[in-house]
Amino acid sequence: MLTTIEAKLISALEKGKLYTVDEASKLSGLSKDAVLKAAYLLQEKGYVKVHEKVWKEYELTDEGLKYLAEGLPEERLYEELTSGSKGIAELEKKFGKEDLKIALGWLRRKGAIKIENGVVKLVSKPEFKERAILNEIYENRTAEVDKTLLKDLIRRKLVKEEEAKEILIEVVSKPEVELKEKITDLTPELLISGEWRGKEFLEYDIRIPAREVFTAKIHPYERIIRECRKIFLEMGFTEIKGHYVQSAFWNFDALFQPQDHPAREMQDTFYLDKYVDIDEELAYRVKETHENGWITGSKGWGGKWDINKARQLVLRTHTTAITIHYLAMNPEPPVKAFCIDRVYRREAIDATHLPEFDQLEGVVLDENVGFKDLLGLLKEFFLKMGFEDVRFRPGYFPYTEPSVEPEVYVEGLGWIELGGAGIFRKEVTEPLGIKGKVLAWGLGIGRLAMLRLGMKDLRMLYNPDLGWLRNLPAIKR
Ligand X SMILES: N[C@@H](Cc1ccccc1)C(=O)O
Q: Which parts are annotated binding residues for L-phenylalanine?
A: 320, 359-361, 399, 424
In angstroms, give the least distance from the CB of 407 to ligand X: 14
In Å, what is the CA distance from 137 to each residue of 53, 57, 59, 61, 101?
21, 9, 6, 11, 26
In angstroms, give the least distance from the CB of 291 to ligand X: 23
- Binding residues for Mg(2+), as ranges, are 401
Q: Which of 214, 213, 207 is nearest to 37 (CA)?
A: 207
Q: How far apart are CA 76 and CA 10, in angstroms?
A: 58
In angstroms, give the least distance from the CB of 420 to ligand X: 3
Contact call for residue 440 and ligand X (CB under 6 A): yes
Q: Are 251 and 264 in contact (CB under 8 A)?
A: no
Q: How far apart are CA 375 and CA 316, in angstroms?
A: 26
One residue of 112, 421, 438, 448 binding ligand X per CB under 6 A: 421
In angstroms, give the least distance from the CB of 357 to ligand X: 10
Q: How many residues bind ligand X (CB under 6 A)?
A: 11
Contact call for residue 400 and ligand X (CB under 6 A): yes
Q: How far apart are CA 284 and CA 431, in angstroms?
A: 9
Write 77-82 long-range contacts (CB < 8 A, 24+).
77/103, 77/104, 77/107, 77/120, 78/107, 78/112, 78/122, 78/125, 78/126, 78/128, 81/113, 81/120, 81/121, 81/122, 82/122
Contact call for residue 419 and ligand X (CB under 6 A): yes
Q: How far apart are CA 80 and CA 86, in angstroms?
A: 9
Which bin fits 405, alpha (ψ -120 to 50), beta or left (φ > 0)?
Answer: beta
Contact call for residue 246 and ligand X (CB under 6 A): no
Judged by beta carbon, residue 74 or residue 341, the one nearer ligand X is 341
Judged by beta carbon, residue 246 or residue 400, the one nearer ligand X is 400
Contact call for residue 257 and ligand X (CB under 6 A): no
Q: Are 338 and 322 in contact (CB under 8 A)?
A: no
Give the range of 7-15, 370-378, 418-426, 449-457 binding ligand X by CB under 6 A. 418-426
Beta-sheet strands, E only, within 14-108: 18-20, 48-60, 86-87
**Residue 402, preceding peptide bond in cis (omega within 30° of 0):** yes
One residue of 441, 451, 452, 458 binding ligand X per CB under 6 A: 441
> Which amino acid is it at 212?
E
In angstroms, give the least distance from the CB of 147 to ligand X: 57
Give the range of 100-108, 205-213, 416-424, 452-460 binding ligand X by CB under 6 A. 416-424
Q: Are 469 and 219 in contact (CB under 8 A)?
A: yes
Contact call for residue 397 and ligand X (CB under 6 A): yes
Contact call for residue 360 and ligand X (CB under 6 A): no
Q: Are 398 and 257 in contact (CB under 8 A)?
A: yes
Judged by beta carbon, residue 49 or residue 447, the one nearer ligand X is 447
Q: Are 252 and 246 in contact (CB under 8 A)?
A: no
Contact code string over 320-359 relative to ligand X, x by CB under 6 A: x---------------------------------------
Residues in the chain: 477
Contact call for residue 420 and ligand X (CB under 6 A): yes
Give the range of 330-338, 350-358, 417-425, 459-467 binding ligand X by CB under 6 A. 417-425
Contact call for residue 312 and ligand X (CB under 6 A): no
Judged by beta carbon, residue 3 or residue 403, the one nearer ligand X is 403
Contact call for residue 446 and ligand X (CB under 6 A): no
Contact code string over 203-242 relative to ligand X, x by CB under 6 A: ----------------------------------------
In angstroms, give the least distance from the CB of 422 to ligand X: 5
Q: How far apart are CA 39 and CA 18, in angstroms?
A: 12
Binding site for ligand X (CB under 6 A): 318, 320, 397, 400, 419-422, 440-442
